[in-house]
Structure 1
Amino acid sequence: MSKTIYLIVYKSPLFPAHWALWAPSAADANVGKRIHAEGDAAAGFRLSFDRNYDIREESRKHEVLAVGDVRADLLIDTAGNGVNSADSEPQDAVETVAARVPPPSPSLVSAAERARGTRVEIKNCQSWLTEVVSALHDDGILDNNAVEMIKTAPKN
């Protein structure tokens, strides 16, 4: 048996969209687990597993896109007490792979801080999630279609 994992794209007209993986629970397709790196390029990011996340309560404009199917035993529902909570302790194989990929550290620096002529690569939740999907593919959890899908996902 398999479960579908999705990409949530929180749209923004001015800034890069926030990306998160979404795994609905078997009991309720609107409640599940959100895996993402939250923060910003100036301060850095931190890993978050949001449990019992109810997508119906999300007020930000967003789009949900299927990434791929994973074996059900690799993506465990975390029922808990039914209340939305967040932590960074992996509880299944998908979360373990996500935890192996370090969230981006601060990458946005002032012009005064960087050496003249050096190019700064800005890392964000999109670059992190791209690495997570690649790692899930490398571990045989997601297929190549997931890697291709994430490359063409909306950026804003």
Structure 2
Amino acid sequence: MSRTIYLAVFSNGPKPAHQAVFIPTGDAATGKKGNIIHVTGNPATGFFLEFKRNYDFEFEDRKYQVVTLVQVNAQYIRDTVGNGEPSTDTIARDRLESVATVVSPPGPSPNPFGSLALNCQNWMRDYVERLVVEGLVPSSAGLIMESAPRLL
């Protein structure tokens, strides 16, 4: 059995859009609640990996776009609903999250306002590439990443 995972792209004003992997709880086709895998931070201070559990797009104020990324084997995903309340942590609970822990988030940039400063989009591309290398997702995921919006 397979599950669909998505690329969520969030507006960040005039700066590069924020990107995250969104995994709907139970793979509901119209699901707006699930888990987010992303790095958070900024080029000046660096980024860190975070898992948002029970994330709900119903409460998202920013402009966003959700793009189908790929189908993955359901055995690599573990829904972590808990009490149903939103929470964040840094502890991997399934195979997709475990792979995220071995992809280093960008550290502080010597020129955080320069066009070459690394951000969450760089990490997301590295993460998806690692998923491909590990054989968890098809290489077509890289093509989706290449065509994803950089600004919203």
TM-score of the two chains, using structure 1 as the length reference: 0.90
* Counterpart contact for 1:107–1:120, Cα < 8 Å: no
Question: If you compute each CA radius of gyration, which structure gives the higher value, 1 or 2?
Answer: 1
* Counterpart contact for 1:6–1:21, Cα < 8 Å: yes
* Counterpart contact for 1:90–1:99, Cα < 8 Å: yes
2:101 counterpart SS class: helix
Whole-angstrom CA distance in 2 between matches of 1:9 and 1:110:
21
Selected match of 1:154 from 134, 149, 152: 149
What CA RMSD, in Å, does the superposition of the two structures yield over aligned residues?
1.8
Whole-angstrom CA distance in 2 between matches of 1:31 and 1:155:
24
C-alpha distance after superposition, 1:81-121 (max 9, x if no partner): 1110001110000000011101110014379xxxxxxx984
Match of 1:66 in 2: 68
Greater alpha carbon shift after TM alignment, 144-153 vs 5-14: 5-14
Which residues of 2 match residues 35-46 of structure 1 at below 5 A? Answer: 35-46=37-48
TM-score of the two chains, using structure 2 as the length reference: 0.92
> What is the CA-CA distance between 1:27 and the residue it aligns to?
7.3
Instruction: Give structure 1 regions of 4+ aligned residues with deviation exceeding 6 angstroms.
Output: none
Selected match of 2:54 from 52, 55, 65: 52
Which residues of 2 match residues 62-141 of structure 1 at below 5 A? Answer: 62-109=64-111, 121-141=116-136
Match of 1:19 in 2: 19
Paired residues, number: 149
Whole-angstrom CA distance in 1 between matches of 2:112 and 2:89:
31
* Counterpart contact for 2:43–2:112, Cα < 8 Å: no
Give ranges in structure 1 of 5+ residues lacking alignment.
112-118
Matched letter for residue 26 of structure 1: G
- Percentage identity across aligned positions? 38
Whole-angstrom CA distance in 1 between matches of 2:112 and 2:135:
40
Whole-angstrom CA distance in 1 between matches of 2:110 and 2:11:
21
1:26 counterpart SS class: helix
